Amino acid sequence: MTNKIVFFDIDGTLLDHQKKIPAGTMLAIKELQERNVPIAIATGRAPFMFHYLLEELGINGFVSFNGQYVSYENQSVYENPLEETFLHELVIRSKEHDHPMVFLNTETGRTTHNAHPHVQKSMDDLKLVHPQHDPEFYRGRKIFQALLYCETGEKEKLYRNTYNDFNFIRWHQYSMDVLPKTGSKAIGIEKMIAHLGYHQEDVVAFGDGLNDLEMLEFAGTGIAMGNSKEPAKRVADFVTKEVDDDGIRHGLKKIGLIG
């Protein structure tokens, strides 16, 4: 296996449950780089949320917003923002039900509610600060992903059963990612490998969440972390150990990319 490119999810994959990079993961990535194996990040996060990881790990390519913005060596490779007209309709519905939203572009995020506890909880879990209040931020800007804050059950169905132009992916007990219907990490990866001259069978992908399903299915080798959601484990080629038990190193050794 000499012509591979490896994509890593962040939360629960590169980062453990304390949002730290395990020592074994650092060593595994260093060994990949010493062997000249290209590495990229594939995440639901916005770029401004993980620039520090790119610098710390020496990575120069990423698929962000669950595939809606792809960059390599500081150059945009692919962009797929949310359609403002459809987003406006969603904003109106969310206001009617007092469900906060967060709008994300490559540089920052803004929220429709000021200091909402559900937004605060989700940001705390990511070790991020509560976004500033600007309910009109989505107008006239490229918004690549939105966060919609509602709990599961009937409240969630208000949106899933109404807005066919979006994908809603649950990532937190209080929040769903809002993506274009055509968007996924798999599409973002496909755009990057086309740009770099790799093929689908060359792709190795590590993930753990519901937003990783398409990526794990698309990859030539899809590897689910031991701490993954069950649907991710089912679509992966195999399941490695958990993130805090050298899961990445174990997976890379199993497929022969490191020693």
Catalytic residue, chosen from 9, 208, 212, 246, is: 9
Residue 64: both structure tokens together:
């962000």
Task: Give catalytic status of residue 9 as yes or no.
Answer: yes
DSSP H or E segment with residue 221: strand 221-224
Terminal alpha carbon distance of the chain: 12
Rounded (10°) angle between helices 23-34 and 247-254: 30
Ranges assigned E (strand) in 58-180: 61-64, 69-72, 75-79, 101-104, 109-111, 132-133, 145-149, 166-172, 175-180
Chain-centroid distance of CA 33 in Å reads 22
Contact 93, 124 (CB under 8 A): no
- The answer to whether the CB of 215 falls within 8 A of the CB of 186 is yes
Q: How far is 27 from 4, CA to CA, in rounded Å?
A: 18
- The full length of the chain comes to 259
Active site residues: 9
